[in-house]
Structure 1
Amino acid sequence: MNLFDLSLQLSGFPIKKAEKVLNGIQKLSEIDFESYVEKKKKDIVDYHLSNNTFYKSFFKEADLSDWDSIPVMTKGDFQIPLKQRLSGAYNLKNVYINKTSGSSGNPFTFAKDYDCHALTWAIIKNRFGWNNLDFNSSKQARFYGIPLDKKGYYKERFKDVLSRRYRFSIFDLSNAAFENYLKKFKSTKFDYLNGYTSTMVQFAKFLDRQNIILKQICPTLKVCIVTSEMLFDDDKLLIEKKFGIPVINEYGASELDLIAFQNPENEWQVNSETLYVEILDSNNRVLPLGEEGRIVITSLYNQAHPFIRYDIGDIGILSKTSTIKKPILKKLMGRTSDIAILPSGKQAAGLTFYYITKSIIEDDGQVKEFIIQQLKLDTFKVIYVSTENLSKLKTEQVTKEMTRYLEPNLTILFERRDRLERSKSGKLKQFSSYIERN
């Protein structure tokens, strides 16, 4: 019995219809696909101009025939009540409603119409199918957060049952907790792991300390799918080595869809079926393929709520090999809100600090995990979890590398803790800036 599909249908999300629509889109030739995308772009703008007062007032003087003139929307534009942003045919009772994680600093509630949300699940099922995974039959080891209020908690647990998922707690990453992880893997025929990158990395480090290969105690495992947090090359190698299975990288946003997924050719293939993805410069001009810029996305099917040329807050590059039907995300550099401004006025991606520091302080296995905070223009703090304080040699190496890669006269502070604070969802924010910006 296909419990997962049935649960979607009973919740009002027509998954079979959505899968049929998706299949038709994927069968289009490259030429026909380009026409399809152009039509869907025009249709979704037309729809919201005709049916959405919020978007009509936002659109103002733009020229519908000139896509580049259509305004870019940001998270800040959605900081008004949801009911004021819905299209005419929709209300709070006939749409799917959820909240963004707030990792960008601008959380908001959003909506999707039921057909659009069904297409989201059709895309996810399709991409997981690239690895021979089926939500109706494959058993998932789930490494996600869970609401702590009683209603939210039991709702997620019920969804886990319908989706053949077992959810591991990610709020306790102690050795004792990981020992309990192992017991479950020994007794359960899991097909795959899915969840936050940082938790997978910590579990892999535990397995490394114990000299254990996960697949040897759970032979049914096929693949590990990581999401929501940056995946560094050395972390990917560690997970693959200690889990004994391939690692697949996923990139998505709850308010939109699955954005990119690692395909069988090891490319980060962008979802072009239900989204239109652009890379823009600081003046909202479209950049040529291969150039770094802001990731701006249009949801082609969401009639309940406009996400048209929506700046998701991430920085990335589309490969020069990209086509309209098969765009490839060459690189994802993190969030635009994770930019550090240095005393000289120079700007650097916050993950630069994380990457520089990571290569130094994790090489002896003492440091379990760490984050970077910018406290002042010239002051950064490295907060880390370790069995002992970092040596003077390590702290001097980090400071020296910060100077070499960035600029001199930076103050680098170090603080050891027993554990790191995570968001309510369980995500770990690797870099945070506490500098007020104009």
Structure 2
Amino acid sequence: MTSLYTQLVSKVLFRLHERLKGHTTYSMLHRLEQSQWLTPEQIAALQQQRLEAFIADISQHSRYYQQLFAAQGLSASDIRTVADLSKLPFLTKQLITDNQHTLCSEPQTQLQRYNTGGSSGVPLIFYMGEARVSHDVAAKLRATRWWGVDIGDPEVVLWGSPIELGKQDRIKKIRDELFRSYLLPAFEFTPAHIEAYLQQLQQLKPRMLFGYPSVIHQLALAAEARQLSLSKLGIKVVFVTSEMLFEHQRTVIERVFACPVANGYGARDAGFIAHQCPAGSLHISAEDIIVEIIGDNGQVLPVGETGEIVITHLQTQAFPFVRYRTGDMGQLSNTPCSCGRGLPVLAHVSGRTTDFMLTTAGDKLHALSLIYVLRDLKEIRQFKIIQQSLQEVEVQLVCNEALSDTLAAQIISQFQQRLGAECQITLKQLDVIASLPNGKHRYVESKLDY
């Protein structure tokens, strides 16, 4: 049952907050909460209408797309369907960096400057207009409500983005306390930090937990190691995003917190793309986001095949994202969800294109096959796999106990079975594996260019 205070925040205070910021969040939320129950065919028709209007807008107001359409001999009327998008080239991080000013639509409205953390190796500076910001908040609120929680319910956020953490001024602190949202920095995760965070969770008793799966997984393992029961805190759902969620992480988190894990897929640059519903499907915010799956040859793949996820965000008129290459790998599904929502489904997101390694024979190998070797070993608390070259792989390990020679040899043998017998595998035991500057953890890093 929703508390009176949560209703006050959701129905009054946060609405006022968004209106004062010039956002149309709640009108978008109302639209999204209605359209999610349309049939897949109705949602596809709605998406096509929005695509036509979006293309007409940017072809008139963005100098980049004016020049692109002219160079390609196209007009807005040539892009009417999702299939027609293939007539346009992909948008990349480098193209955005090289064309920041011409991408902005004229006349320029108030734009907010953002940047990604560069966890993919390529940091990006870009801009958002009011419609894009409002949509991302509205889409997140819709997905949050699927799980019976709402803005105003106590929330603990384990996050590492300097964008959020850099805004911890007095006004924002008061606002977060008013909305009962408590931010715990995920930059460092030393034993002292873990101890403090476990104490804060017991004091705050949040209804929802939000953050990186790797961080929440480590927190859950630490609670188990201390024989600390978190099952009675009253957490209703754990939302994870921004990293790949592995099944062993989900299992541990759900066991320790005694609640479901809801996986989300999105990025600061690409938007709030998809979120898991209680029936288990990863639903795409398809009213305003078009997902294409692209093969190595740059062609659109049919439903059911895995390729790179390419995004067109229909609320980015002010700074258009059209056929934007996310660098993530995924697969669409045509199986309807039992929840009854007509929103299309991402069958899975299988990590970034950089989450692949090369065997000594030059064949691509998904890093999951190596991760599986390490993830269930009780002797290992944390790990990172670094491919230095075709012939050399370093495995960084934080161990609960010293590795026996037998287990070390077993790990090396299994890695060589997958990468090639001539590949040199070096095991390196560390006290801690440093997170990325934004607090995320990368399980795999390849220094090869392929």
TM-score, normalised relative to structure 1: 0.90
Closer, same or farther in 2 for the Cα pair 1:73/1:190, shift >3 Å?
Answer: same
Q: Does 1:115 align with 2:131?
A: yes
Q: Does 1:294 align with 2:311?
A: no
Name 1:165's counterpart in structure 2: 181
| Structure 2 Cα separation of the partners of residues 291 and 67 of structure 1 | 19
CA distances 1:180-220 after superposition (whole Å, capped 9, x unpaired): 2232222223101100111111111111112222122x2x2
Q: Does 1:257 align with 2:268?
A: no
Are the aligned partners of 1:314 and 1:333 in contact in 2 as well (CA < 8 Å)? yes
Offset at residue 150 of structure 1 (A): 8.9
Aligned match for 2:29, one of 19, 22, 25: 19
CA distances 1:380-436 after superposition (whole Å, capped 9, x unpaired): 111122254422222211122123334321111111222111122101111111224
Q: Does 1:379 align with 2:423?
A: no
Closer, same or farther in 2 for the Cα pair 1:304/1:402, shift >3 Å?
Answer: same
Q: How does 1:184-203 map to 2 (within 5 A)?
A: 184-203=200-219
Amino acid at match of 1:303: Q
Offset at residue 41 of structure 1 (A): 1.8
Q: Percent identity over the alignment?
A: 28
Closer, same or farther in 2 for the Cα pair 1:85/1:159, shift >3 Å?
Answer: farther
| Structure 1 Cα separation of the partners of residues 289 and 165 of structure 2 | 35
Q: Does 1:145 align with 2:160?
A: yes
Structure 2 gap segments, 5+ residues each: 1-7
SS of the residue aligned with 1:214?
coil
Amino acid at match of 2:44: E
CA distances 1:200-252 after superposition (whole Å, capped 9, x unpaired): 11111111112222122x2x211111111121111111111111111111111
SS of the residue aligned with 1:117?
helix
Amino acid at match of 2:96: F
Name 2:72's counterpart in structure 1: 61
Closer, same or farther in 2 for the Cα pair 1:367/1:27, shift >3 Å?
Answer: closer
Offset at residue 156 of structure 1 (A): 6.0
Offset at residue 10 of structure 1 (A): 1.9
Name 2:44's counterpart in structure 1: 34
Offset at residue 378 of structure 1 (A): 1.6
Q: How does 1:212-223 map to 2 (within 5 A)?
A: 212-216=228-232, 218=233, 220-223=234-237
| Structure 1 Cα separation of the partners of residues 172 and 425 of structure 2 | 41
CA distances 1:342-389 after superposition (whole Å, capped 9, x unpaired): 331211223432233324xxx22x322111111111211111222544
Are the aligned partners of 2:165 and 2:185 in contact in 1 as well (CA < 8 Å)? no
Are the aligned partners of 2:108 and 2:318 in contact in 1 as well (CA < 8 Å)? yes
Name 1:268's counterpart in structure 2: 282
Amino acid at match of 2:50: K
Name 1:43's counterpart in structure 2: 53
SS of the residue aligned with 1:248?
strand
Q: Does 1:426 align with 2:442?
A: no
| Structure 1 Cα separation of the partners of residues 172 and 404 of structure 2 | 43
Offset at residue 271 of structure 1 (A): 1.6
| Structure 1 Cα separation of the partners of residues 448 and 249 of structure 2 | 29
SS of the residue aligned with 2:162?
coil
SS of the residue aligned with 1:49?
helix
Name 1:307's counterpart in structure 2: 321
| Structure 2 Cα separation of the partners of residues 29 and 199 of structure 1 | 37
Q: Does 1:393 align with 2:406?
A: yes
Structure 1 gap segments, 5+ residues each: none
Offset at residue 157 of structure 1 (A): 4.1
| Structure 1 Cα separation of the partners of residues 210 and 73 of structure 2 | 42
Name 2:295's counterpart in structure 1: 281
Closer, same or farther in 2 for the Cα pair 1:113/1:178, shift >3 Å?
Answer: same
Q: Which moved more, 1:171-180 or 1:287-296?
A: 171-180
Closer, same or farther in 2 for the Cα pair 1:341/1:327, shift >3 Å?
Answer: same
CA distances 1:8-48 after superposition (whole Å, capped 9, x unpaired): 22222122222233245335444332222112222222221
Closer, same or farther in 2 for the Cα pair 1:291/1:374, shift >3 Å?
Answer: same
Q: Which moved more, 1:115-124 or 1:177-186?
A: 177-186
Name 1:340's counterpart in structure 2: 357
Are the aligned partners of 2:330 and 2:346 in contact in 1 as well (CA < 8 Å)? yes
Are the aligned partners of 1:62 and 1:70 in contact in 2 as well (CA < 8 Å)? no
Are the aligned partners of 1:193 and 1:223 in contact in 2 as well (CA < 8 Å)? yes
Offset at residue 97 of structure 1 (A): 2.4
Name 1:78's counterpart in structure 2: 96
Q: Which moved more, 1:171-180 or 1:307-316?
A: 171-180
| Structure 2 Cα separation of the partners of residues 225 and 303 of structure 1 | 29
Are the aligned partners of 1:212 and 1:242 in contact in 2 as well (CA < 8 Å)? no
Aligned match for 1:176, one of 187, 192, 202: 192
**Matched residue pairs, number?**
428
Closer, same or farther in 2 for the Cα pair 1:321/1:146, shift >3 Å?
Answer: closer
Q: Which moved more, 1:255-264 or 1:324-333?
A: 324-333
Name 1:247's counterpart in structure 2: 261
TM-score, normalised relative to structure 2: 0.88
| Structure 2 Cα separation of the partners of residues 166 and 130 of structure 1 | 21
| Structure 1 Cα separation of the partners of residues 263 and 390 of structure 2 | 33
SS of the residue aligned with 2:231?
helix
Are the aligned partners of 2:104 and 2:318 in contact in 1 as well (CA < 8 Å)? yes
Amino acid at match of 2:367: G
Offset at residue 162 of structure 1 (A): 4.7
| Structure 2 Cα separation of the partners of residues 426 and 347 of structure 1 | 28
| Structure 1 Cα separation of the partners of residues 238 and 382 of structure 2 | 20
Amino acid at match of 1:346: D
CA distances 1:296-328 after superposition (whole Å, capped 9, x unpaired): 111012111111111111011112316994221
| Structure 1 Cα separation of the partners of residues 73 and 295 of structure 2 | 19
Amino acid at match of 2:412: T
Q: Which moved more, 1:4-13 or 1:108-117?
A: 4-13
Amino acid at match of 2:87: S
Amino acid at match of 1:335: R
